[in-house]
Amino acid sequence: MSSFATYRVGDELPGFETEPLTPEWFGRYAIASGDHNPLHTDPAVGRAAGHGGVIAHGMLVMGLLSRVAAHLVGPGALQEFRTRFQEPTRPGDRLRCGGRITAIYERDGRTCIEAELWAIGQDGGTRASGSVVAVAPHQ
């Protein structure tokens, strides 16, 4: 977690690149989240849906983006967190997750920060994009 005071508009947030995503990871996410949609765990269902096999839960990708948001603030300081799922994430994808500060302003005497977030595949395609609004903890 970094101090709000050190950020400027345009700064990139510390990001990371995932290991290649695997069907096994999708299976663990299904159990952890309770989302047992077979689209994410049964290759036959994924093929029937035209994906050529299983695809990742969108919420797994949003969960990975939440790690970037966590660099910005500690728990409790997030105000809003939005994600748009742009294209399917597949096994073998390595996601580069990152973000950039888009606005810093004062509201009700507290500092607010807004950032855009992205999850980009190894082919350069944006799998998901998002935004986050955070407020500095009370001092």
Instruction: Note the residues at the interface with another protein (CB under 8 A).
Output: 25, 28-29, 31-39, 45, 49, 57-60, 62-64, 66-67, 69-70, 74-76, 78-85
Measured from the CB atom, is 67 or 94 closer to another protein? Answer: 67
65, 71, 76, 79 alpha-carbon torsion, rounded to 10°: -60
CB of 28 to another protein, least distance (A): 5
Measured from the CB atom, is 72 or 120 closer to another protein? Answer: 72
Measured from the CB atom, is 8 or 111 closer to another protein? Answer: 111
Measured from the CB atom, is 18 or 104 closer to another protein? Answer: 18
User: Using CA of residue 109, residue 111, residue 114, residue 119, what is the dihedral sign?
Assistant: negative
- Residue 108 gets the label, from left (phi > 0), alpha (psi -120 to 50) or beta, of left
CB of 122 to another protein, least distance (A): 18
CB of 123 to another protein, least distance (A): 21
For 70-94, give the DSSP string.
Answer: HHH--TT-EEEEEEEE-S---TT--
Rg for the chain, CA atoms, rounded: 17
